[in-house]
Each structure stands twice: as structure tokens, then as C-alpha cells.
Chains A and B, each alone.
Chain A
Amino acid sequence: MSTRLFGEPMPRREDPRLLTGQGRYLDDLGPGALAAAFVRSPHAHARIRDIDVSGALDVDGLVAVYTWEDLPERIGRPLPLLIPHPALTHGRTARPLARDVVRHVGEPVVMVVAEDRYLAEDACALIEVDYEVLEPVAGLEEAARGDRLVHADVPGNVGAHLVQEVPSAGGRSAADAIAAAPHTLSFRLDIERSASMPLEGRGVYARWDGADLRVYSSTQTSTSVRMAIAAALELPLPHVEVIAPDVGGGFGVKIVHPWPEELLVPWAAMLLGREVKWAEDRREHFVAAAHERGQVHRVRVGFDDEGRVLGLDVSILHDHGAYTPYGIIVPIVTSTQLLGPYRIGAYRVEFTAVYTNTVQVTPYRGAGRPQGVFCMERTMDKIARHLGKDRTEVRAANLIRPEEFPYDQGLTFQDGRPLVYDSGDYPEMLRMIKELIGWDSFERAPGRGIGIGCYVEGTGVGPYEGGHVQITSDGRVHVSTGLTSQGQGHETAFAQIAATELGVPVERVSVVTGDTRRFGYAVGTFASRAAVMSGNAIALACAEVRAKALRVAAAALEADPADLTVTDGLVHVVGAPSASIPLATVAVLANPLRYAFDEETARATQFAGAASPDRPPVEPGEEPGLEGRGYYSPIRSTFAAGMHAAVVETDPETAEIKVVRYAVVHDCGRLINPMIVEGQIHGGVAQGIGGALYERMAYDGDGQLLNASFMDFLMPYATEIPPIETGHLETPSPLNPLGIKGAGEAGVIPVSAVIASAVEDAEGISIDRMPLSPSDLFHLREGA
């Protein structure tokens, strides 16, 4: 039996079932369930005059049709605004089914339940909704002009406006610092919309047995979905269970909750007394889930002869889409993480977040950071170009030094806490990435360029996560944590942590995530937080279990607990492995029994003679069983960092852009499983390349999404992704016991900046917008 532990590239526990078709994704469950389907708005902005469902009533197999009027008040009201913020003065959320006005193509209007999905869609097609079409607000700048309104009661379409300002060390404002600087530049940057686009869409499946509701959802937060459902359906929390089964990718979109369908499907299941399931189709996912990224930045920067930034002023126009269920986390992250690994003289950032008649905007992997990094890194390249300096030299002049940690950027981060970087070594990272890509020896040629991008990522945001660890009398270790998994390999990584902390063979450890039956308190999986938060919570739970195991074993071995340790599942005296007792037996002894069910448990019964007759079988302060619970709640986020570099080639005629080399140096603190971390980076880089070169949500002036299919929305295939070279730097986080930082979003964050940097180098043309298609580059060449 091997003991594979923390830091090893251990093969994943998840793989055998996923490789043999034995995974259980949402639509694999509930084979006999009724199917729900939705009539969705075909208009970006319209008033509903009438809904005629009569045509659907003849469909054989139709079970129910619901419009807003059928919903009880607690379901029909606007969905929760999950993260309120004082600057979000005009937050608006949708109702699960539209009441009177629809504000984007895809907004749900009618829910149909039928014997199967085919029949449900038949019925949907026969329902007639009479709309009075209203003028839509389609573009970001059109929204900012405020001539037409998305919400009649939101003047100027402005949902939120926030200014953060950090004066220079000498007390100078950004405006003054820029005015007094030897050099200044001002420019505009445009970043278009993309989306998480997991290959499995959203989905909900609900069962009601008359007293208890069980809901399965393809979600990034089962605990919070559970609370939202209990509140909306007015059910006592202990009577609601929510389980995230195998989830086919999330990337942010599945952290939003409760989705309309997450309330409507359970509600219908209760009403009908039947199992009901809804599995989102691809077009629905394009028009009814969420997008991200769309922003316009206006930048002013002042700097000295060395390229040191003396003052930076950024105005951000952020596109919310039609609603703000997730608040203003994305523009807050853009504003604060924009500064990256740099020490900036004085900084002022302002964002205005506006509504448009498009799908709502909520975090997608990177969550506002790719835009911020695009801004900062474009700024660095422009400074270098202005001064005629090497781009890495300008960055080096601005980097925070290792001795300056903890480094306070003077801003308030997305968790409401100070933006203080915990640890890092940015100059070393710059040296490593230059070496990895061969920066200094790069041979420039027409149509061949090299680029770089640097970022810092706040990871492992609070408020907390918990872990539960139980050792049963068969010696197995059962670990559970409330947050969910969407492919990150948590079952493996958390088992590695538990095996290490407990001293047991990893084969004996099993891990369950995202199941409220097993663990009810959790926040969710987002913001590269799972390994940091649940990893540390599980380690703390393990420490508690281990201490108890040593106490129980000490009594059995007549030893001092301080002299004991655990190796390979055996508790023994340090240096004397012969005096030992297996954890399985310790688990038996930890639970005094009246009834035995096998030979082993007979040792814990009342006539077995082990316990003193003068003491209670369970000592005061103790509990039966060998289990423990731990919570990890950090004072603030940890800060991972990375630097990427790429070599691109551009075609002189077709303007096609090919990424020929891609290199990543990354610091996420201590690595639990390097294979998994590397996989996360690869996947992130691929999504980044998609965002840099291919993916855009093409809305027309009527608010129609023209490319709402995989045929037209171009995601990278294997043909678009170059080999990815990686280097790891490990500066442990001082904030948590395991010294880890998050890695989930690392790969995606700087990619647009890196590709822009490289294309600009190859072409000698300013690249100020992303994504950059061959056609875009062709037109830029013509204009140059």
C-alpha cells in the first residue's frame, strides 16, 4: 500500500469513474423525472401584453404550464441581490418568470412541465406571447449615454459608481502626480464579452416526498442554493438537501444562485408531487445564463525617465447586462487587481457600471482581473515604447520588492478587506519568465513578436470553509467539505492533505464535496479559493481527529499521548513501532457500545473490560466516535502571482495570429498536487487564448446575440493551443497553516495582455482591444 502525500503528482481519484461513463452529472440522474422547458423572450426589450397558453394544452404528455401569475409571492418576487454594496445604488434582479417587462433575449417567461423534454418543447412552441417591442439598449456606450433606459427607474442606466483613490507616499493625488510627471500618456482600451461556457450547461433536478425536498443542481455552491430554496419555498432548512453531483465545468457561471430554474423546478416538484428535472440546452446557456469581461477603460498615466509610474488614473465603464444578481464584484476586482505586482505612485480608479439589454454579467474565471491586467500591462508596454526601453526593464523598475511584504496597496478588495499582499518574489519571477521564454535572446523578425504579462491574484477569499473528518471502525477515513467541485480534482487533493495530516495511507481516504447531507456550512467554489479554504479547514479537522486518536490510543497503550504518533494508519510510540494500535481499533474504542455487530466492535462493549467502572464511558468534554470538524476563516485573502510570456507569428497576408510558444511562471504557494495545478494552468491559458483571439459575444443593435451556438462562438480546439511551458515559484502564504494560495484562475488572467504585447511587438501597431481577430488586425494594418 503506497502512501502518496502532500506535494505529489498523485493520479486523480475522480478519473476511473469519469473515464468509464460512470460519472453522475445532473442530466444522468432522475431517469423517470418530468421534464421542464422554458418559453424565453425572443426580444431584448419588450412589454408582455398577453400570454396565450391554450395551444399547448392539446399536447399529449403536457403536465403543467406556469406563468408569473401562477407563482406565489415568495417565488414571483425579484431574485436575491447576492452581494449588496453601498455603491450599487440601483441594483436590479430578474423575477424567476418575467412579470411584465423582459430585458434580454432569453429571459424566461413561461415554464412548461411535460412527460419528456421533446413534449415540453412541443408545448413551448405552441404558446403565444404577445409582446410590445421596446427600444433596446445594446451597446456599452449607448447605455452610458442614457438616452434609453433598461430599467425605467434607473436614471442613466447607472447601477453603480465607485471611486477609489490612493495618494502617493508624499500625499499627492493621482491627478497632481500625473500633471507633474515628466512624461504622460492617455489612451483607451476595449475588452469585449466572453463567457464561462462549461461544456455541461446548468441543470436542476428535484424530488419531494411530502416532507423533505432533495435538489440536485449543477452548481458551484450547494449550501447557498439550499438556503435560498428553503427561504423561497418556506421550508425548514433541515428539510431541504442540495447536492452538486459531478459537474461538467463551472468557471464562474455556476456560482450565481438561485437561478430562476433552481426555485421553479423544486417548486413544481412539490406542487405536482412528481420528480421534475431541467437540463439547460446550449442555446439557453448562451442567452439565459451569464457573460463577463465587457469593459471600456480610459487611462491616464504619468511616469519618470526610468518608466516608474508616478500617477495612474483609470476610468472604467463596465457592462452589467440587464441585471446585477452578483452585485459589482467584477468591476471591484478589476479596479483593485489592476495594480498587479507594481508599486504605483498615486492611483485613482473610478468605475461606472451600466445596464444594457443583454444577458447579465457575473464572474467568469478571472472575474474582472483579465481586464485590469490588460490595462496595467498595456500601460507598461506603452511606457516602454515611449521611452524606448525594454518592456521588462520598465516592469522591473515598478515591481514591489520581496522585502516590502506584506504590501498594502491602500485599496479595499472584493471581500471588503484591505488589499494587502501577503508574500511573493516578483523580481525572481521576472527573471524566471525571461529565462523560460528566452527574452534576451529572442530574434525579432517581421511578423514575429514576443510579449509579456504580469499579474497578482487575490485568492482564497473568506469568509470561511469547513471540513469534517471521520475515521470509522474499518479504518477508513471519510472527509467531507461543503464547497463543490467542477473538475478541480478536490477528491484527490483533499485526500492528499488528509492522508498527510493523519498519517494514513491515502487509499483509505475518501472525500465528498458539495453535498449538504454531509456538510451544511460552506460558501462555495470560486475565486481560486477551494484549496486554500477547504484544504486548511480539512487540515484543522484532521488535527482534531489525530489528537483524539492519540488520547484514546494512549489510554489503550498506557502511554503518554505526547509520546505517540501515527504512521501508515498505526498509532505507536515514537521510535517504538512495535507498541502500536491501528486507527481502526482506536475508532472502535472511541465509541463505547452496548451492542456489538462484529468481533472488532465487541471490544468496545460494556463487559469487554477495557473502561474503568469509576468513570463515565464517555468522558466529560468528549464525544463518542473518532471524528472532528474544523473551520478555516482567514483575516484576508492570500495573493498568488504569475508572469506569462508568448511568442506569436502573424501572417503577412491573412493577418492570422498564431501563438507559437507560451510560457508561464506561477506562484501559488505550496503545491498540493503539481499535476493538478499544471492542469489548471493549461486550461486557464486555453481560455485566455480564446478570449484574446476568438471569443466575443456578437450582439447586434437590436440586442440579438448573433453567435449563440458553438458553430459561431469560437472556442479554441486543440489546433489553437500551443505547448505550454511552466515554471513554479513557491513563496508560502504566511496567512494559512498549509502555506497555500489558489491556482484556479491563474492561467487565464494575463493572456489577453500577453498576446496583445506580442502582436504589438510583431506588428509595430498599438493593440488596444481584445479579442483581436485576423480581420481586426487586417484593418489595424490598413489604418497604420
Chain B
Amino acid sequence: MSKKIIEKEISIGPVHPALIEPYRIRFFVNDEIVEDCEININMAYRGIERLLEGLPVEKALLITERICGICSNVHAWNSVRVVESGLKIEVPERANYIRVLINEIQRIASHLIFFGHAFEVIGHETFAYRSFLLREVFMDLMAYIGGNRVMPSVPVIGGIRPRADLTDTLKRVILERVNDFEKKYKEYVDRILADPMVMSRLTGVGYLSKEDAIRYHAVGPTCRASGVNYDVRTLMHEYKPFDFEVIVLTEGDNRARIVQRALEIFECLKIIRQVIKNLPEGPVVNRNWTIREMPFTTAYFEAFRGELMHSYALDSQGLIRNYKVRTPTPTNLAAMEKACIGDHITDAVVTIASCDPCLTCCTRIEVVESGKTKVMSDIEIVRKYGWRR
């Protein structure tokens, strides 16, 4: 294929109405049809991996929870899972159930904020408002359990914080709110699927085939909406006691990505009901552990947007060495760029929003050395170049 020269470029960002987070998109267009797309994500670089180098592992929870404000519990839990699997720390069964509960509550809140963002970008503000109103149920539950709407800080090494233990009153409240939510949510989803304007805007737009999803390493709901059956939750021993289905759709367009998340919320509700029903008695935290030297250990987790990896080693004093985080969005970026190509420019931002980007946690640094580009982790850069510039 000969190399085409594309003349028109439309660039959006870093601060723009369609983008809540700062990132920059460059669309190369030919008469309003997107020919190529490039997403640039390095606006929110905070150097998290550098901050964690040399911190005591108990203290690191404060920073790992603040990697992302939407999926805070996922990062906190996964950083704890690394040290638990590396040092063979037992977790009580009751603590595991409550961790799963708060995780699924946050997953529903995250999917609802996705609806809010996607419908706001489409321009249908009523659906966005209704989605934010439904979300308040779960923000309240997080405040009741953990004490904060956004950062519940439930997992600690060896269990959960005793403050987050579930009382009988709290169990009843959760069940009531969830039942009430499900009734309203069913109406909401029926209303979306019956809306001809919204559906015609979404159907058949932003197509990502199964081959492309595998080739560009799409993860999470983005790949499951393209027909790839991949969910890390099915492999995790924490989720063994629970019965749920992995929702896989085969259409691969914007509508499929929205419907996939809509159906996944019902599975989350199923898990929450099972937690409340089968919650075992017993202690919630195991304090019989000592931190000692740990080799490089890795933990994988199904975050709300896909597969998440945390890995680090501990030295002889229990300080963190070489913390590495790989969040789902960087692997989804290539799939987003691919899905935009061939569609109208007005649909491109909707396509990117439908892949649910969360760009604060995925920022990486690129080092260009004599023309060769190389992506390095923070620690490697500090070792080689010092702090900055």
C-alpha cells in the first residue's frame, strides 16, 4: 500500500468539553471521515512508582489507593494481594467476602459513571442525570461501609479494617437499597434500549472486530463486547465461592460496549446478594504476620476496565523495591484508535468514550534516544537520568 498523505488534522485537548480528563487526541481526517487517530496521554504524570520506592509496605496503601479515584479499591486490594501471596499471609474468609462486596459496589458505581460520561458526550443529558442519580445509592453504601464516598480504604494487609465490618443493620440496609436500585435500574436500561435516537447513533459505529481486539490486546469490557471471553475474575481464588456469568457480546460496536456494561451490573448485583446471604462469621483481620524479604511478586486482577497488574519486591527491612503498575487503559488505547478509523468525526469521541478511558493512572514516559523510542518505567528512568530534564 502506498503511503497516503493526509492533509487535514483536527486536534482536541488537553482541556476540552468532551474530555473530562486531560489528554490530547489528533484526528487525521479526509472530508470528515477519520483516516487515522493518535491519542497522547502524558498530561497527568505524577511519578507514583517513584514515590513508592523505599516506602514501608504498610504505608504504601495510602498512595496505591490514590492511583485512581474511580477504582480506588481495586488498586488498594491488588497491592495488598501482592504481599499476601508473596509472604503467604492467610486472609480470613469473612474479610474476603467484604472485600468482594466493596469491589462489586465500586464496579457498579464505575459503570454508572461510564453511562453518565457516554450519554453526556452523545448529548442526551437526561440519561446522564438519571445515571448519576442511580449512582448515589452506591456512593452512600461506600460511605456507610468505609467512611468515605470515594476512598473507602477497606483492604489492609491480612484482612480488612475493623471499621468496615458489616453489622446486621448494615446488611439489611444494603439489601434494601440494592433491591430498590434494581427496580429503577431495569426501567432505566429498558428506556435506553427502547430509545430509537440513541440506538441509531450507537449501532454499527466504532466497530472493533474480534481479530483486532486480540491483535491490539484489548482487555476488559472492550474485548468482551467484541466476542473475546476473557475475565480475570474467573481465575481468581477470591471469586471462587461466588456464582456469576461473564457477559460476552459479539457485535463489537458502541452499542455492544454499552450493553455489555449494562448487563454486567446485573451480575454484580448477583454477587452482592450472595455476599449478604452467605457471609461467614469470624474475625475480619489476621494480625499474625511479619514483613520480611520478598522476591519479585506479581498479582493480576480484573479491574473495572480490564486486567490490572501490580508487582514489587521487598528488601530485608520491608521497604518496597521496583514497584510496577500496569493499568487496563494503556492496553486499550490501540484498540480505541483502531475503532475510530473509518467513522464520521462526530462519532469518534463517542467511540473513545465507549471504551471507557481512565487516563490518570496509565501515564507513561517515553524516552527517545537517537531516534529510537523506548518506553521505560519510572524507576529505570530515575536510575539512568535522575529526576527530570
Do A and B share a complex? Answer: no
